[in-house]
Amino acid sequence: MNPEICIVCDGEIFEPAGTHSGYSLFHCLQCGLRFTHPIPGAAEIAAIYTEYGTNRSYAAKAERKIRRSMKRIRRYMNRGPGKRFLDVGCNVGTAVEAARRLGLDAHGIDIGDQSIEIAREMFPGGHFHAGPIESLPPEWGQFDFVYSAEVIEHLPDANAYFNALSLRIKPGGLLFLTTPDAGHWRVPSEFTKWDQVFPPHHLLYFTKDAMRRFLDRHGLEVVKFEWKLKPGLHAIARRR
C-alpha cells in the first residue's frame, strides 16, 4: 500500500526507497523525506523500547557525554531569552547535567522509567520527569532552550510530538535538534545500505529541506544547520 500524504510537506508523490528488515521505505519527491510505511503499530514499537538505552553501562560513559554536551550547549545558551533548559528524550540525564553545570535551570524528560531513575540518582541537581512530552507537568511552563537529540527519527507520530514540544518553547526561545541527515553526501545512493536505516527503530529520515519545512509548520524558523563531516543533521531553530 502506497503512502497518501507526506507528514512534512503534504506532498503526494513518492517513490519506493527499498525495504529493510521487512519494512518498506518511501521517498517524498517534494521535500526529500524518507520514511517507513506503513508505520508500525504502537504495541510493536513499545516492545522494542522495553530495554532500549536504559542499561547501566551507559552511565559509565556519562562524564565524556557531559563534556560533549557542555560544548554544544555553551555555543547557543546565550542566544535564548533566558536560562530555562529542557532536554526531551534525556535518557540518563547527561545533557541535563551539562546544562546545570553551565548555570542553566536544567530539566529532562524521557519515556524510560529506568533512565529517569538513574538520572535522578546520578544527577540530583536536575529536574526529571518520566513520560511522553504530552505528560510534562504544566507547572514546568515554557523553556528558553530545548534540546532534542536523536529522538525524532524514532517517532511514529512526529507531528503530535512537535505539537506538544513547540508549545514548551518560549517565543524567541531556541531548539537544538539532531537526527541523521538523509541528504548528506556520504549517504549511499542505495538508501537502505546506509547504516542509519534500521526500522522499526528509525522510522523517519530527514534531509535539511524536509527539516526546514517540518520546523516551519510547527512555528520554528531554522537559524542554521551546523556543518557535519558525518551524516548527522544538527539544526538550530528559533520559535516565532
From residue 153, alpha-carbon distances to 102, 179, 204 in Å are 28, 6, 5
Our CB check for Zn ion shows the closer of 95 and 235 to be 235
Among the listed residues 84, 130, 86, 124, the one whose alpha carbon sits nearest the alpha carbon of residue 108: 86
Our CB check for Zn ion shows the closer of 15 and 51 to be 15
CB atoms within 10 A of CB 37: 18
Please report how close the Cβ of residue 169 comes to Zn ion at its closest, in angstroms.
Answer: 23
Please report how close the Cβ of residue 9 comes to Zn ion at its closest, in angstroms.
Answer: 3
CB atoms within 10 A of CB 104: 22
Our CB check for Zn ion shows the closer of 151 and 211 to be 211
What are 179's three cell numbers?
A: 537526527
Contact residues toward Zn ion (CB under 5 A) are 6, 8-9, 11, 28, 30-31, 33
> Starting from the edge strand earliest in sequence, which strands make up the sheet with 84-88, in order?
127-130, 105-110, 84-88, 143-149, 169-180, 232-239, 220-225
Please report how close the Cβ of residue 8 comes to Zn ion at its closest, in angstroms.
Answer: 5
Our CB check for Zn ion shows the closer of 32 and 80 to be 32
Please, which residues have CB within 8 angstroms of residue 61's CB and are 6 or more apart in sequence?
none
Please report how close the Cβ of residue 35 comes to Zn ion at its closest, in angstroms.
Answer: 9
Our CB check for Zn ion shows the closer of 131 and 183 to be 183
Please report how close the Cβ of residue 207 comes to Zn ion at its closest, in angstroms.
Answer: 10
